[in-house]
């Protein structure tokens, strides 16, 4: 790693160190009952205990897989739907109110219905995550696609491009940035929805772990679960940003 | 001389909430092979609409726009268009932009030939050092040179230019005009240039079509008395100055007429 990279890493670490210090400070300030706030080192110890003895990795894997599948399926559907809505104005007038209606519903409110229709298995959790990813992704897609300027299409036409070539060589490259943004937004929303989806009788998963811990008032376990969700979401976002920067090297704004 | 393009009693109008808006009215003129036509008139008068009909983006309400004797049905590679906003593809490198047209079915070229054409225009437009750069690294003048190179690469017989140098600073603009003259000397094309600069029209064109304020009608068609090749010295000639004051007068009259009939609705030309 070069000097600039080290400096950036250092700058990135400062707020984390600050947060941990603040955490200790609140604990030692005496304003809050100490038994209600496990110390960072206790949470770290719990983390290793869960990791080695309780199979924390299985929970992480279960949750990550759910988020991954939910987002993948959600975006797979959101991309063509969002594209059509953005491209054909009439379709948008037609579907816009509907989409905004469903988007406004918090996934957690749908859980009872999801249980009724999809049971309590893996499918039910996937449905919730799919729902959350789809509606956040479709909005980003159609907002982005509707802003594509017709200039590039006209240019391609004057150079002799047919409809298929315009789609493949102009519209797809212009859509890629919006797909990537939709993916990032959906990923964030899906992690946020994870705990809700795992409220449905999940055996394993970070959300399930938090749920179970709350029943027994295991605050340190709850902290471990929350930190794990945050960290994994952060890592996924970083990876996606790297991919975005690589794919969109031509764009004016620097993303990573 | 063969007629390349013909405007035959062409009119174009829009239906608006405030009634019918005539943009172009009863325009007739021919563009012959090898002509360099400059269309000049007050901004917003509908001169871009004329070009747009020949390019195939808009259809006349009445009358005919013909290219090589056939009505224009849509855009096509035999009529290259240079847009004011350049329209270089930001996701492609400079070289890929030039090669774009050659990768299409309409004018497909083998890789070796494509490379040769790209290198030729990279060199001609002074872009060789930027062959693998993305357009975000180019200045406005370079982007317009790239747009011209890309249009030329598919060998159009006819070039339509919509205020191509309008967004450039004076120095770059004059360099681009000279470059265009130089390229035309070797490549020999028929050109229709939309401009609002009187000097640009006289310096570049063989014939100047002065149009009225909206609706655009033909006010006067003027033959430019200078032969090609031209260089900047013609701008010092007394004929140049005479022509300039004559055309300026025509354009100013139309500009005043336009101010007088100014309506709150505004349309892009």
Percent of chain A scoring above 90 in pLDDT: 48
A9 and A58 together in one domain: no
Quick one: pLDDT at residue A255? Answer: 44
Please state the rounded mean pLDDT for residues B1-26. Answer: 88
Cα gap B74→B223, rounded to integer Å:
30
Starting at the edge strand found earlier in the chain, the sheet holding B190-195 runs B79-82, B158-162, B190-195, B36-40, B207-211, B218-223
User: CB of B75 within 8 Å of any CB in chain A?
Assistant: yes
Banded model confidence at residue A256, pLDDT cuts 50, 70, 90 = very low
Q: Check CB contact under 8 Å for A158 and B136.
A: no
A73 and A63 together in one domain: yes
User: CB of B226 within 8 Å of any CB in chain A?
Assistant: no
Q: Which of A154, A165, A250 sits opposite B134 (nearest CB)?
A: A250
Residue A252 lies in a domain: no
Banded model confidence at residue B1, pLDDT cuts 50, 70, 90 = low
Q: Is-cis flag, bond preceding B262, omega within 30?
A: no
Question: Does pLDDT of A254 surpass 80?
Answer: no
Mutation test of the interface with chain A: which of B52, B74, B75, B84, choosing the one with the most A Cβ atoms within 10 A? B75
Q: What total number of domains does chain A contain?
A: 2
A153-172 pLDDT tens trace? 999 999 999 999 999 999 99
Question: Does pLDDT of B267 surpass 70?
Answer: no
User: CB of B53 within 8 Å of any CB in chain A?
Assistant: no
Residue A254 lies in a domain: no
Residue A227's contacts (CB-CB under 8 Å, 6 or more residues apart) are A43, A47
Per the CB < 8 A criterion, the answer to whether B151 and B164 are in contact is no
Mutation test of the interface with chain A: which of B81, B87, B102, B151, choosing the one with the most A Cβ atoms within 10 A? B87
Q: Check CB contact under 8 Å for B150 and A159.
A: yes
A224 and A188 together in one domain: yes
Cα gap B243→B239, rounded to integer Å:
6
Average pLDDT, chain B: 89
User: CB of A162 within 8 Å of any CB in chain B?
Assistant: yes
Residue A253 lies in a domain: no
A47-56, A102-111, B46-55: least confidently modelled range: A102-111
Banded model confidence at residue A122, pLDDT cuts 50, 70, 90 = confident
Give me the DSSP letters along chain A: --HHHHHHHHHHHHHHHHHHHHHHHHHHHSSS-GGGS--HHHHHHHHHHHHHHS-HHHHHHHHHHHHHHHHHHHHHHHHHHHHHHHH-HHHHHHHHHHHHHHHHS-HHHHHHHHHHHHTTSHHHHHHHHHHHHHHHHHHHHHHHHTT--THHHHHHHHTT--HHHHIIIIIHHHHHHHHHHHHHHHHHHHHHHHHHHTTTT-SSSHHHHHHHHHHTT-HHHHHHHHHHHHHHHHHHHHHHHHHHHHHTTTSSS---
A162 and A117 together in one domain: yes
Per the CB < 8 A criterion, the answer to whether B165 and B173 are in contact is yes
Residue B261's contacts (CB-CB under 8 Å, 6 or more residues apart) are B213
Question: Does pLDDT of B266 surpass 70?
Answer: no
Q: What is the ipTM of this complex?
A: 0.86
Please state the rounded mean pLDDT for residues A27-33. Answer: 84
Banded model confidence at residue A1, pLDDT cuts 50, 70, 90 = low
A27 and A139 together in one domain: no
Per the CB < 8 A criterion, the answer to whether B6 and B192 are in contact is no
Chain B: nearest CA to A73, how far in angstroms? Answer: 27
Backbone angles phi, psi at B88, to 5 degrees: -70, 145
Give me the DSSP letters along B178-239: HHHHHHHHHH--EEEEEES-HHHHHHH-SEEEEEPSSSB-EEEEEE--PPSS--GGGGGSHH
Q: Check CB contact under 8 Å for B106 and A250.
A: no
A214-233 pLDDT tens trace? 889 999 999 999 999 999 98
Chain B: nearest CA to A145, how far in angstroms? Answer: 16
Beta bridge partners of B12: B24
A6 and A61 together in one domain: no
User: CB of B46 within 8 Å of any CB in chain A?
Assistant: no
Question: Does pLDDT of B50 surpass 60?
Answer: yes
Chain B residues with CB under 8 Å of A249 CB are 134
Residue A69's contacts (CB-CB under 8 Å, 6 or more residues apart) are A126, A129
A139 and A177 together in one domain: yes
Chain B: nearest CA to A170, how far in angstroms? Answer: 8
Element holding B62 (H helix, E strand) = strand B62-67
Q: Check CB contact under 8 Å for B136 and A154.
A: no
Quick one: pLDDT at residue A6? Answer: 85
Average pLDDT, chain A: 88
Q: Which has the higher per-residue pLDDT, B238 or A120?
A: B238
User: CB of A152 within 8 Å of any CB in chain B?
Assistant: yes
Tell me the whole-structure pTM to 2 decimals.
0.82
For residue A248, the chain B residue with the least C-alpha distance is B91
Please state the rounded mean pLDDT for residues B191-220. Answer: 92
A32 and A67 together in one domain: no
A59 and A97 together in one domain: yes
A172-228 pLDDT tens trace? 999 999 999 999 999 999 988 888 888 777 788 898 899 889 889 999 999 999 999
A32 and A42 together in one domain: no
Give the distance, in angstroms, between the CA of residue B45 and the centroid of all CA atoms in the same chain.
Answer: 16
Element holding B144 (H helix, E strand) = helix B140-153
User: CB of A80 within 8 Å of any CB in chain B?
Assistant: no
B155-167 pLDDT tens trace? 888 999 999 888 8
A25 and A92 together in one domain: no
Query: What is the domain range of residue A27?
Result: 1-36
Mutation test of the interface with chain B: which of A153, A154, A155, choosing the one with the most B Cβ atoms within 10 A? A155
Please state the rounded mean pLDDT for residues B200-204. Answer: 94
Quick one: pLDDT at residue A111? Answer: 86
Question: Does pLDDT of B269 surpass 50?
Answer: no
A202 and A95 together in one domain: yes
Q: Check CB contact under 8 Å for A161 and B104.
A: yes
Per-window interface: A 26-45 vs B, CB < 8 A:
none
Strand B3-16 with B70-71, pairing: unpaired
Q: Check CB contact under 8 Å for A251 and B136.
A: yes
Q: Check CB contact under 8 Å for A158 and B134.
A: no
- CATH classification code of B3-87+157-260: 3.40.50.300
B121-144 pLDDT tens trace? 898 888 999 999 999 999 988 999
What is the domain-level CATH number for residue A240? 1.10.3720.10
């Amino acid at each position: 790693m070069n000097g600039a990279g080290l400096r950036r890493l250092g700058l990135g670490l400062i707020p984390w160190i600050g947060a941990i210090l603040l955490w200790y400070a609140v604990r030692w300030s005496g304003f809050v009952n100490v038994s209600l706030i496990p110390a960072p080192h206790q949470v770290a110890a719990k983390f290793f205990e869960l990791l080695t003895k309780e199979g924390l990795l299985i929970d992480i894997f279960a949750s990550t897989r759910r988020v991954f599948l939910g987002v993948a399926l959600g975006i797979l559907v959101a991309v063509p739907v969002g594209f059509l809505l953005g491209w054909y104005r009439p379709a948008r007038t037609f579907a816009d109110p509907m989409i905004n209606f469903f988007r406004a519903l918090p996934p957690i409110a749908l859980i009872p219905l999801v249980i009724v229709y999809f049971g309590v298995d893996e499918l039910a959790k996937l449905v919730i995550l799919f729902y959350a990813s789809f509606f956040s992704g479709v909005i980003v897609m159609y907002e982005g696609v509707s802003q594509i300027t017709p200039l590039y299409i006209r240019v391609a036409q004057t150079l002799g491009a047919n409809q298929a070539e315009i789609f493949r060589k102009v519209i797809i490259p212009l859509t890629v940035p919006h797909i990537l943004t939709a993916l990032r937004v959906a990923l964030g929303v899906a992690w946020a929805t994870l705990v809700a989806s795992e409220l449905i009788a999940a055996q394993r998963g970070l959300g399930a772990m938090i749920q179970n811990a709350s029943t027994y008032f295991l605050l340190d376990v709850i902290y471990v679960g929350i930190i794990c969700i945050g960290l994994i979401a952060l890592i996924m976002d970083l990876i996606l940003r790297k991919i975005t920067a690589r794919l969109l090297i031509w764009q004016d704004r620097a993303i990573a | 001389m063969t007629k390349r393009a013909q405007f035959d009693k062409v009119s174009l109008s829009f239906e608006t909430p405030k009634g019918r808006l005539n943009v172009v009215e009863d325009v007739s003129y021919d563009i012959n092979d090898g002509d360099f036509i400059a269309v000049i008139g007050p901004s917003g008068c509908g001169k871009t609409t004329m070009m747009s009909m020949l390019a195939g983006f808009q259809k006349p309400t009445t009358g005919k726009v013909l290219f090589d004797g056939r009505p224009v049905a849509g855009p096509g590679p035999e009529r290259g268009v240079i847009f004011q906003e350049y329209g270089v593809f930001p996701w492609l490198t400079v070289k890929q932009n030039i090669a774009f047209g050659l990768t299409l079915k309409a004018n497909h070229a083998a890789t070796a030939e494509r490379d040769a054409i790209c290198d030729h225009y990279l060199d001609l437009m002074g872009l060789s050092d930027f062959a693998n750069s993305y357009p975000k690294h180019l200045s406005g003048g370079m982007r317009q040179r790239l747009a011209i190179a890309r249009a030329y690469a598919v060998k159009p017989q006819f070039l339509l230019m919509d205020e191509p140098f309008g967004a450039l600073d004076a120095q770059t603009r004059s360099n681009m005009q000279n470059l265009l003259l130089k390229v035309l000397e070797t490549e020999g094309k028929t050109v229709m240039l939309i401009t609002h600069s009187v000097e640009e029209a006289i310096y570049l064109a063989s014939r100047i079509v002065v149009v009225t304020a909206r609706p655009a009608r033909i006010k006067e068609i003027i033959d430019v008395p200078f032969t090609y090749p031209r260089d900047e010295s013609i701008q010092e000639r007394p004929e140049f100055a005479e022509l300039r004051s004559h055309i300026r007068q025509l354009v100013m009259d139309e500009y005043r007429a336009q101010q007088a009939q100014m309506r709150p609705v505004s349309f892009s030309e």
